[in-house]
Chain A
């Protein structure tokens, strides 16, 4: 048995190409949804925290700390296998989407908050002095700066969280790892696993290039 036969067997590739392509799409759309909603929710939470109302800040900080401390997989297992015992049954992909979104939001909130508090007070005051409301200052002055200053960590977090879609295999989401794993078990060949690795490269290599482009594009000097 030579190398190609084990890792890149043409027959096996032909057999599992279709399900693998479908799995790639599942991985892509869950990732895209997670990144969009995670960024939006994280920014929203940081914005709410900026109002400096204790009854708002306190739960937000607690949420961010919990979500960053707990392994996402544990949260998924609790939701997917624990909740049915009290009669709540959630879709496998929805559990994956929800947990990854919340975890990303927690990190994004912390990233935004750190920058918002480090911006000169004059930025807030210049906005307020020109008659902008608190929300307008937040949206037009503070957020755009927080976003631009944090493109690299935000991109890194987004890529990391997208790769965590692989956890979906544990709760039965038909994403790349899950499909490749079953194919490997069924065929006894390592080829589907090679296909999985290639699939991730195909998805994340362009994502990486895109992130470099975004970093260059929005970089500005202070």
Chain B
């Protein structure tokens, strides 16, 4: 990255989050540039999900600022927040497709109701997105008829169809059977090739090594260390990161 940096696609500034007495995030600063894939690792309870959920205000930050393409996410009226949320796609560990709607309708709903696209336009776009995740042939299937991996890919298509500026992934493959993980990672890899800006919280370390521009290590609600994957995995500096890495590699072995 050069000295004259362009406007970050997502900028987190001095973010704090408390749940009652418990401080979950303390002074988080993170800039994600256009087209960058930032991978977030850290032990359970370190605040990774909370940080992502603050970015689209599913969780209300206690203090700090979030900007998407320079526009504030905080301190704006609900109507404006709904508009801003269109720019921030989110993929959940649990998929959360709408079970009463077909795959196609899952992808058209927000396009029609939040973006105001016509039925024809929304369906065309939905089919395009389902094609992108390899599920065009499942457009009419109900979520209950899809495997977990397929459901997660529909969920990705649902977020993508709104033309977000940044995509947040919170452990997108953690609820999947091992043989289905690859299909979802492939979609994420394709997205990266297409220049999508992404923050990925995940335990798929090999994916981080291969696809991440930057890896962020969180522990105890702070960013302890960040850098390119070679540095973070090959040459960890802090003891906490070293301990964490030896723990997860121990689990994997």
Contacts and interface: CB of A to CB of B under 8 A. Distances in A.
Given A130-B162, A131-B115, A145 B92 contact: no
A134 B82 CA distance: 9
B224 to A, nearest CB: 28
B113 A136 contact: yes
Contacts of B88: 129
A125 B142 contact: no
Contact of B100 (A127, A132, A145): A145
Contacts of B153: none
Contact of A130 (B78, B110, B144): B110
Given A220-B144, A221-B144, A130 B98 contact: no
B142 A220 contact: yes
A141 to B, nearest CB: 6
A40 B79 CA distance: 27
B169 to A, nearest CB: 12
Nearest to B168: A129
B85 A122 contact: no
Contacts of A127: 110
A220 B110 CA distance: 22
Interface string A10-43: 0000000000000000000000000000000000
Given A122-B94, A221-B144, A131 B83 contact: yes
A148 interface: yes
A169 B67 CA distance: 67
A84 interface: no
A20 B158 CA distance: 56
B58 A131 contact: no
In this complex, the member of B99, B115, B144, B162 whose beta carbon has the largest number of chain A beta carbons within 10 angstroms is B99
Interface residues of A, number: 22
Interface in A116-134: 120, 122-123, 125-134
In this complex, the member of B100, B142, B144 whose beta carbon has the largest number of chain A beta carbons within 10 angstroms is B100
A125 B58 contact: yes
A220 B102 CA distance: 12
Which 3 pairs, one residue from A and one from B, show the smallest C-beta to C-beta distance? Answer: A130-B110, A131-B114, A122-B96
16 contacts: A122-B94, A125-B96, A126-B92, A126-B97, A126-B158, A128-B85, A129-B90, A129-B159, A130-B86, A130-B114, A130-B159, A132-B109, A132-B113, A133-B78, A133-B82, A141-B98
Given A130-B86, A132-B113, 16 more contacts: A126-B97, A126-B155, A128-B85, A129-B159, A131-B83, A131-B85, A131-B86, A131-B115, A131-B162, A133-B78, A136-B113, A136-B114, A140-B109, A140-B113, A141-B109, A221-B144
Interface of B: 56, 58, 78-79, 82-83, 85-86, 88-90, 92, 94, 96-101, 109-110, 113-115, 142, 144, 155, 158-159, 162
